Amino acid sequence: MCLEPSDNKLHLGCNGSVHAQITFAGKTGHSARPWEADSAISLAAPFLAEVAAMASEPHVIDGSRTAR
């Protein structure tokens, strides 16, 4: 067991991680003619907003409930 150094409290449970690579293909353009470009950042914005809006799901692991 490790204590979290920032608040010296015991935290039980599992903390998983996901590693993913997501590509949004855009089209380069010039600042003088932005209508000729497709910003990959703008194309990714709806997806990123959807991910940010997702709520965490609490689980019980070996009798310990994960935080929400």
Can you give the residue ranges of every domain in the chain? Answer: 37-65
pLDDT of residue 65: 76
Q: What per-residue confidence (pLDDT) applies to 67? A: 66
Each as own residue / partner, the long-range contacts of residues 11-17 (CB below 8 Å, 24 or more positions apart, any chain) are 12/64, 13/61, 13/64, 13/65, 13/66, 13/67, 14/61, 14/66
Contact 65, 58 (CB under 8 A): yes
- Tokens 């799901």 belong to residue: 57
Q: Report if pTM > 0.75.
A: no
Over the stretch 12-67, which tens digit does the pLDDT of each residue have?
A: 655 667 788 899 988 998 889 988 999 888 899 999 999 999 988 887 877 777 76
Q: Give dist(CA 9, CA 38) in Å, integer.
A: 47
* pLDDT the model gives residue 48: 92
